[in-house]
Structure 1
Amino acid sequence: MNPSISTAGAVVDDFQMSCRFSNFGDHAPESFDSLSCGACFYFIFMLVEHYKDRYVASLCEDTFGVLVCPVDVSDKICNCYNREYVYNIPEFALNSSRIKPLNHLRLDPPLPFQFDLIVKDCCSAARYCCRNTLVKYHHRVDDSPCPPTWDGWNCFDSATPGVVFKQCPNYIYGGSNIKTDYDRLSQKVCRSNGWATPEVNAAAREHTDYTGCMSNGDVEARILAGLLTYSASVIFLIPAVFLLTLLRPIRCQPMFILHRHLLISCLLYGAFYLITVSLFVVNDAPLSSQVFQNHLFCRLLFSIQLRYLRLTNFTWMLAEAVYLWRLLHTAQHSEGETLRSYKVICWGVPGVITVVYIFVRSLNDDVGMCWIENSTVAWIEWMIITPSLLAMGVNLLLLGLIVYILVKKLRCDPHLERIQYRKAVRGALMLIPVFGVQQLLTIYRFRNVCLIYRLLHKSFCRRMCSEILVITSGEAGSRS
């Protein structure tokens, strides 16, 4: 990290109780808290393209807070003596009467929801660093050439010459969840005469390299893999849905109505993935700023994709299992059955659950980037996970019962028992993707291996699609 501003900082008389802030000198703990907290906000938010061209921002030399003014405000008004433009978190500020609370700050585009809590995490880390690392350094024998320091984002203990690595703290991403997906590292170079001070903007300043925290090669690979797999799924699913809709011999049969709705659910999920990635995620996406703002529109789209349509996948797989079990158990063929109750339940119940999820999360955990990631409040996410697990549990039970019924029906000839068992096993394997048993691996989106799960999920979707097409063509041929 390379600060672009400077301040003299308060000179500490009692050096034994000082905390070092790289490029800003040594400060008493209370002054350090105030300065570092203002710097946290400045470095996290005010250096991004959204704001640095629209606002004048700097740290106040009196360490009270951070000055933030629109670029068109006169210097006579925009200064650290005007409380209206100086912000900090009151519990960290040196003099709360000289600042406005940070959560009162309004910028265009809007800052992320509860951005002050993100900054507070950074401020708390700085305070902990001061009390537990920086102050203690003065009370121990340490001949290391590089003293412990707070660089604005991270705490570095005293070091010998070499490269010091530190994990990238989550708050530096301003509310996104990049850090939770990747184990990124920043690095700071210690030399024999102190921390490295490369010349930046004609000034020698201590420097921490955070480029390792911003590496996005894996992200691009995941996005590309997702676009390819979901595009393939959509391409496979569109003709399948048309066949099940247009072929007269089968379009009114209950089993194929269920097939059609299940494939429509998968098709919509894939289509929404392509839409959301194209609008919000890829480089130069037209609505990428909405992700930064945690905008209502993108939260709604991602909730439809990641919650509602995922739940409809599970409900229609459950419907397939329930109907097939009824068919085998009762041996009744209801050619004219409309399946209205199935449609209401399988499309309606996920809708109700999703609406409740959106309402509850907006009240309890309305942070992050458009709710792309799971909620940090575990019980909120279980509102989606629990019905998915229940659906899969019932499907597993019904799969076992159906295999049992098939085996019983195939045991009519003991001389062909081995062949019949093989038929039953093949039938069970064909039912796995239709019943969605593989979805047990993808109900919870594990971050470190989600690419594997995505590929697994879509490969099973394509297999399910191909199997239904084979069954459909065979059924249509037998009726023509």
Structure 2
Amino acid sequence: MTDEVSEVTSDKTLASILIDKEKECNFTLNASAEFPGLYCPGVFDGWVCWPDTEAGKSASHRCPGFIVGFDPERYAYRKCEENGEWFFHTVYNKTWSNYTTCVNLEELSFRQTIITVHLVGYSISLVALIISLGILTHFKSLRCARITVHMNLFASFAANNLLWLLWYNLVVGEPNVVSANKVWCRVLHVVLYYFLLSNYSWMLCEGLYLHTVLVSAFISEVRLLRCMLLLGWGIPALTITLYGPIRLLSGDAVETSECWMNEGRYNIILQIPVCATVFLNVIFLFNILRVLLIKLRRGPHMHGTGNSGTSRTSLQALRATLLLVPLLGLNFLLTPFRPEQNHPWEHAYEVVSAVTASLQGLCVAILFCFCNGEVLAQMRRKWQIATFRTRANSCTVTTVSFVRTTGYPGGTEEKV
């Protein structure tokens, strides 16, 4: 997932910057030599210090970088009229500096499009996740440790999607809110990132659960579920407990301004657990694949099955492994390859990133609920509705695969 202690202190951040700039401007104007001929006297307009300017000319100045949405590489203008008076805007009823050139309208339009993509994607995902939670809650017969882990994953994604919708509507689209830097928007930032981290931690729980059940067949599911709950909600809580106070008390005006919207040096606190969970999930994925392949190699030898059976079982294992990829969050490994600003691929990356990030909740709901064989069977029995019929021996993400135990001839099927 695009510079950033009390409410009084943070609210004075921008004001203190402007006070310093006004003092600097007054000092510069007082020290400057008297301008010959007819001119407009230098003035501080609240953002920028404009120098003495010859009548009939326009002064230019780099756009202020501390104003949200302004490009500091662009220039603002202030026109001095022929009579030696600064341009007076009749609509605003005051002398006027032209800051409209500070905004890259094409880039602004693109950013607004990206925000729209996020809003639509998160809305779709939120609806899908709420429906999924309703279905899994309704069918009591589906309750087990595996489904409970799924439901916690759904809940973390649903909360995160809702908070992103609030963030984009209440903060990102309101420059005045960003500049004011109220306490509530900083709290929203912290809560938002708590649930974002919980997405990763619960994806780690999914990977850990599958790995544990596959490798340790006789582990207590009750104990395992307790560990999952502690891990899934505890890691984000510990991380945010460190991140929030450290950034709040940093004393750095850049770090504590603009609703903490901009990434600062303390974001490493959030990045460490994310990288750790993705790394561990990669390890789990490869080990799950390794164990499955070992069992598949032993299967034909122990049971005398033919090549067709082996191929069919191998295909099932491959399908399950491929479905694990979005589950374990491996797509986030592409994040370090983000193009630099103004790179030819920047816009394409932003679009792909917005679509995949906002629709991940929908993908999770589809994989774990809407295409779950157990859920579909319950829905068919309950409501006599038509659903996509799955093959009798096909595997879903929640089931992963059916492999034969190899400890004795005629071994039973073991659900992983």
Provide TM-score, normalisation by structure 2: 0.66
- In structure 2, relative to structure 1, the CA distance for the partners of 1:438 and 1:189 (3 Å cut) is same
2:267 pairs, out of 369, 381, 393, with: 381
Could you tell me whether the CA contact under 8 Å between 1:442 and 1:457 is conserved in 2?
no
Q: 1:117-166 CA deviation, whole Å, 9 max, x = no partner? A: 53378579979999xxx99xx9xxxxxxxxxx9986669999xxx99987
Cα distance, 1:309 vs. partner? 0.5
| Equivalent-residue separation in structure 1 for 2:281 and 2:224 (angstroms) | 22
| Equivalent-residue separation in structure 1 for 2:126 and 2:224 (angstroms) | 27
Q: Which has the higher contact order (CA 8 A, sep 6+)?
A: 2
Cα distance, 1:384 vs. partner? 0.7
- In structure 2, relative to structure 1, the CA distance for the partners of 1:188 and 1:369 (3 Å cut) is closer
Amino acid of the residue matched to residue 116 of structure 2? L
Written as runs of structure 1 = structure 2, the 5 A alignment for 1:279-298 is 279-282=170-173, 291-298=178-185
Amino acid of the residue matched to residue 456 of structure 1? T
Cα distance, 1:314 vs. partner? 0.8
2:149 pairs with 1:258: yes
1:459 pairs, out of 348, 353, 359, with: 359
2:75 pairs, out of 151, 175, 186, with: 186
2:64 pairs, out of 157, 169, 174, with: 169
- In structure 2, relative to structure 1, the CA distance for the partners of 1:400 and 1:393 (3 Å cut) is same
Match of 1:271 in 2: 162
Could you tell me whether the CA contact under 8 Å between 2:76 and 2:99 is conserved in 1?
yes
- In structure 2, relative to structure 1, the CA distance for the partners of 1:326 and 1:346 (3 Å cut) is same
Cα distance, 1:350 vs. partner? 1.1
- In structure 2, relative to structure 1, the CA distance for the partners of 1:294 and 1:444 (3 Å cut) is farther
Written as runs of structure 1 = structure 2, the 5 A alignment for 1:115-134 is 115=14, 118-119=17-18, 122=21
Match of 1:392 in 2: 278
Range 424-433 or range 264-273, more displaced:
424-433
Gaps of 5+ in 2: 1-7, 36-41, 301-305, 382-416
Match of 1:114 in 2: 13
| Equivalent-residue separation in structure 1 for 2:327 and 2:316 (angstroms) | 17
Percent of matched pairs sharing the same residue: 22
Could you tell me whether the CA contact under 8 Å between 1:441 and 1:453 is conserved in 2?
no
Amino acid of the residue matched to residue 240 of structure 1? S
| Equivalent-residue separation in structure 2 for 1:224 and 1:292 (angstroms) | 22
- RMSD across aligned C-alpha pairs, in angstroms? 4.7
- Structure having the higher helix fraction is 2
- In structure 2, relative to structure 1, the CA distance for the partners of 1:335 and 1:345 (3 Å cut) is closer
| Equivalent-residue separation in structure 1 for 2:320 and 2:204 (angstroms) | 17
Q: 1:157-196 CA deviation, whole Å, 9 max, x = no partner? A: 99xxx9998753312x1xxx534xx6762354999x9x99
2:334 pairs with 1:435: no
Match of 1:371 in 2: 260
- In structure 2, relative to structure 1, the CA distance for the partners of 1:197 and 1:300 (3 Å cut) is closer
Amino acid of the residue matched to residue 198 of structure 2? T
Amino acid of the residue matched to residue 463 of structure 1? C
Cα distance, 1:443 vs. partner? 8.8
Cα distance, 1:468 vs. partner? 0.6
Range 396-405 or range 336-345, more displaced:
336-345
- In structure 2, relative to structure 1, the CA distance for the partners of 1:317 and 1:357 (3 Å cut) is same
Range 182-191 or range 236-245, more displaced:
182-191
Could you tell me whether the CA contact under 8 Å between 1:240 and 1:469 is conserved in 2?
yes
Cα distance, 1:251 vs. partner? 1.7
Cα distance, 1:338 vs. partner? 6.7
Match of 2:202 in 1: 316
1:213 pairs, out of 102, 107, 110, with: 102
1:409 pairs, out of 282, 295, 303, with: 295
Could you tell me whether the CA contact under 8 Å between 2:123 and 2:161 is conserved in 1?
yes
| Corresponding residue SS for 1:114 | helix
| Equivalent-residue separation in structure 2 for 1:443 and 1:301 (angstroms) | 26
Amino acid of the residue matched to residue 118 of structure 1? I
Match of 1:237 in 2: 129
Could you tell me whether the CA contact under 8 Å between 1:113 and 1:367 is conserved in 2?
no
- In structure 2, relative to structure 1, the CA distance for the partners of 1:163 and 1:260 (3 Å cut) is farther
| Equivalent-residue separation in structure 2 for 1:441 and 1:370 (angstroms) | 27
| Equivalent-residue separation in structure 2 for 1:338 and 1:242 (angstroms) | 24
1:247 pairs, out of 136, 139, 151, with: 139
Gaps of 5+ in 1: 1-105, 139-148
| Equivalent-residue separation in structure 2 for 1:396 and 1:123 (angstroms) | 54
Match of 1:300 in 2: 187
Could you tell me whether the CA contact under 8 Å between 1:439 and 1:457 is conserved in 2?
no
Range 116-125 or range 431-440, more displaced:
116-125
| Equivalent-residue separation in structure 2 for 1:263 and 1:352 (angstroms) | 21
Could you tell me whether the CA contact under 8 Å between 2:157 and 2:361 is conserved in 1?
yes
Q: 1:344-372 CA deviation, whole Å, 9 max, x = no partner? A: 22112311221221111111145222222
Q: 1:213-259 CA deviation, whole Å, 9 max, x = no partner? A: 2455344333322221111110110111122222222222x111111
| Equivalent-residue separation in structure 2 for 1:264 and 1:443 (angstroms) | 27
Could you tell me whether the CA contact under 8 Å between 2:200 and 2:278 is conserved in 1?
yes
Range 420-429 or range 358-367, more displaced:
420-429
Amino acid of the residue matched to residue 256 of structure 2? V
| Equivalent-residue separation in structure 2 for 1:128 and 1:437 (angstroms) | 56
Could you tell me whether the CA contact under 8 Å between 1:185 and 1:212 is conserved in 2?
yes
1:472 pairs, out of 362, 365, 372, with: 372
Q: 1:404-430 CA deviation, whole Å, 9 max, x = no partner? A: 222222333472466555444332221
Provide TM-score, normalisation by structure 1: 0.58
